[in-house]
């Protein structure tokens, strides 16, 4: 009888131990599922933050490019070719870099930036020769070209900002 009671007591302890293990395993499973759910949310938040930084970098880069183009046009209108040449060289280097880096935003504007790159390359050549202001028609054409390029860059920048605003509000 004592033996049966001891067996029964061992069985109860064994069953209690199994149930406790099952409970701990179930709690562990719930905690794991919760951690995975939180990690998925954190991953999505990190991706959104990365995208927001990318948007801001694109906006900052194009704001600087527009500022350089406006500065170049202003120096040309003031007939200061050496300063205009520096800005033009900066633009010739900057436009292809920004176009490549932020191509996913630019879509149709990428071709416009290629055209602007060639416009600023032509302008850089004209400014390097140094006789751009000797011929009034050539000087006026260079000024018009710089102002038109600046206008187009401003329009590209505006469309980029519009895309960023729409994506941020989604």
Spell out the per-residue pLDDT of the chain, length 170, in tens: 455 555 655 556 566 666 677 777 777 777 777 777 777 777 787 888 788 788 888 888 989 999 999 999 999 999 888 899 999 999 999 999 988 888 877 777 888 888 889 999 989 988 888 777 788 888 888 889 999 999 999 998 888 888 888 877 76
Total number of domains constituting the chain:
1
DSSP letter string, 88-126: HHHHHHHHHHHHHHTHHHHTTHHHHHHHHHHHHHHHHHH
Report pLDDT for 108: 79
Is 154 a member of any domain? yes
Give the pLDDT score at 161.
Answer: 85
Tell me whether residue 34 is in a domain.
no
Selection from 155, 130, 149 nearest residue 79 by Cα: 130
Query: What is residue 5's predicted lDDT score, i.e. its pLDDT?
Result: 57
- Distance of alpha carbon 21 from alpha carbon 89, whole angstroms: 72
- Domain encompassing residue 121: 46-168
Residue 22 lies in a domain: no
> Is residue 29 in a domain?
no
How confident is the model at residue 68, as a pLDDT? Answer: 93
Structural domain includes residue 7? no
Q: Is residue 146 part of a domain?
A: yes
Residue 120: Cβ within 10 Å count? 27
In contact, 124 and 92? CB cutoff 8 Å: yes
Q: For 169, how many CA atoms within 13 A lie in the half-sphere containing its CB? A: 6
In a domain, 27, yes or no: no
Q: What is the pLDDT of residue 43?
A: 79
Domain CATH number, residue 68: 1.20.120
Output the pLDDT for position 100.
Answer: 87
Position of tokens 């131990």?
A: 17
Q: How far apart are CA 41 and CA 47, in angstroms?
A: 10
Burial 18-53 (b: 16+ CB within 10 A, else e): eeeeeeeeeeeeeeeeeeeeeeeeeeeeeeeeeeee
Report yes or no on 103 lying in a domain: yes
């Amino acid at each position: 009888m004592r033996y049966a009671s001891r067996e029964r007591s061992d069985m109860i302890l064994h069953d209690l131990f199994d149930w406790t293990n099952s409970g701990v395993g179930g709690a562990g499973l719930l905690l794991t599922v919760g951690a995975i759910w939180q990690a998925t949310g954190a991953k999505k938040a990190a991706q959104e933050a990365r995208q927001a930084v990318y948007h801001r970098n694109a906006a900052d880069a194009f704001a600087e490019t527009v500022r350089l183009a406006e500065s170049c046009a202003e120096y040309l209108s003031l007939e200061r070719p050496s300063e205009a040449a520096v800005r033009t060289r900066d633009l010739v280097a900057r436009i292809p870099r920004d176009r490549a880096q932020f191509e996913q935003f630019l879509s149709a504007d990428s071709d416009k930036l290629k055209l602007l790159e060639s416009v600023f390359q032509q302008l850089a050549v004209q400014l390097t020769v140094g006789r751009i202001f000797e011929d009034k028609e050539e000087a006026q054409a260079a000024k018009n070209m710089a102002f038109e390029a600046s206008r187009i860059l401003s329009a590209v920048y505006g469309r980029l900002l519009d895309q960023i605003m729409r994506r941020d509000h989604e």
